[in-house]
Amino acid sequence: MSSNKIPVFDGHNDTLLKLEIEAGTRKERSFFKRTEQGHIDLPRAREGGFAGGLFAMFVPSNIHQDFTRPFNPSDPANYAEISQAEALGFTLRMAARAQRLERESDGGFTLCRSVADIERAMAEDSVAAVLHIEGAEAIDTDFNALEVLHAAGLRSLGPVWSRKNAFADGVPMAFPSSPDTGPGLTDAGRALVRACNDLRILVDLSHITEKGFWDVAETSRHPLVASHSNAHALCQNARNLTDRQLDAIRESNGLVGVNFHVAFLREDGRHDRTTPLETIVRHAAYLVERLGEDRVGLGSDFDGCMVPADLGDSSGLQKLVQAFRDAGFGENLVEKLSYRNWLRVLSHTQN
Ligand SMILES: [Zn+2]
């Protein structure tokens, strides 16, 4: 492997959630110590060239459940609607945790509010974290919480997770399935998109129904971005994007972040850790073909999914970089995929 590490700025991880729900259990871990648990901690991030990314604040449906048990994707209790008050309380815990991580990190972890902040953090070898909301249950329809969370650093928001809320309907993790599984944005959802546009908060389309996707396309003034989704043509999961959706993303000069979850990568949709790294490369190549070189990035879903065993966790990211090179991607394209395109689309959203 070539010795020059390419930094990765990544579109999605669930590390804040994992740290939050593991706190106080036998699984509790420190972000600052290397473990083999989950996918991201500071030592492993540095090893793999994980330079930063969107750090999601996701609120599980039953926040009182026993989180030491593995998440069961077919249990309907995991998709139950959740009240705004409960969701906001849990989101504040994750936002506060992010602030404390920054303070305790001795410069190793920086909350970034702009592309300039991200570039500075990357130059200083500090993990550049951008706060993201995955499913906007915590946001009231007067947008007071949105305003305050924006002030706390929120710069990206997906109106919906795979669970209905006041703003939109989400797709189930269904396979094989079209993403056209239900209604789109509500009136409150359209107002949320406009409020995010006004505050320069990126609107994330991963998890939304196809109807919701077209509603956002019609409502938003910003590039269309799906932070952690793959190509439906290669894996027919409802979470992935059809060619028509990809064409609209291209048209808007947006971006798709390639998701490392094996069930969103594989042609057969199976949960199989032996999935080769080349499967990620194949989705990246397809997306580059469809969207152009400037509109594809990474959206690992680290700490929220099953990644190929050959990648392992964030410490293995340079293996993926090498797999891109081995597939004949030039150095310029590898850099675009690894971080430049994310910075580009964020800068378009911020002006
Ligand atoms: Zn997700």
Give the model's confidence band at 61: pLDDT under 50 very low, under 70 low, under 90 confident, else very high. very high
Distance CA 313, CA 307 (A): 7
Give the model's confidence band at 66: pLDDT under 50 very low, under 70 low, under 90 confident, else very high. confident
Query: What proportion of the chain, given as a percentage, has pLDDT over 90?
Result: 92
Instruction: Return the domain boundaries, the chain.
Output: 8-350
What integer pLDDT is reported at residue 57 of this predicted model?
98
Averaged pLDDT score across all residues of the chain: 96
Q: Is 264 exposed, middle or buried (0-12, 13-18, 19+ CB in 10 A)?
A: buried
What integer pLDDT is reported at residue 1 of this predicted model?
43
Distance in Å, CA 158 to ligand 1 centroid: 9
Residue 3: pLDDT over 60: no
Per-residue pLDDT tens digits for 71-118: 787 888 899 999 999 999 999 999 999 999 999 999 999 999 999 999
What integer pLDDT is reported at residue 12 of this predicted model?
98
Per-residue pLDDT tens digits for 118-134: 999 999 999 999 999 99
Residue 2: pLDDT over 60: no
Distance in Å, CA 272 to ligand 1 centroid: 18
Per-residue pLDDT tens digits for 162-211: 999 999 999 999 999 999 999 999 999 999 999 999 999 999 999 999 99
The DSSP 8-state label assigned to residue 339 in this structure reads: I
Q: Is 25 exposed, middle or buried (0-12, 13-18, 19+ CB in 10 A)?
A: exposed
Buried b vs exposed e over 299-334: b needs ≥16 C-beta within 10 Å? bbbbbbbbbbebbbbbbbbbebbebbbeeebeeebb
pTM over 0.85: yes
Distance in Å, CA 53 to ligand 1 centroid: 14
Q: Which of 282, 302, 300, 280 is nearest to 290 (CA)?
A: 282
Distance in Å, CA 291 to ligand 1 centroid: 21
Distance in Å, CA 260 to ligand 1 centroid: 11
109-111 and 127-134 beta bridge pairing: parallel
Task: Please provide residue 154's backbone torsions phi and psi, each rounded to the nearest 5 degrees.
Answer: -60, 125
Its CATH class, for the domain covering 8-350, is alpha beta
Distance in Å, CA 1 to ligand 1 centroid: 31
Q: What is the DSSP string of 4-34?
A: -PPPEEEEEE-HHHHHHHHTTSTT---TTS-
Distance in Å, CA 239 to ligand 1 centroid: 9
Distance in Å, CA 75 to ligand 1 centroid: 17
What integer pLDDT is reported at residue 52 of this predicted model?
98
Distance in Å, CA 204 to ligand 1 centroid: 10
Distance CA 154, CA 57 (A): 10
Residue 249: pLDDT over 90: yes
Distance CA 296, CA 143 (A): 31
Residue 70: pLDDT over 80: no
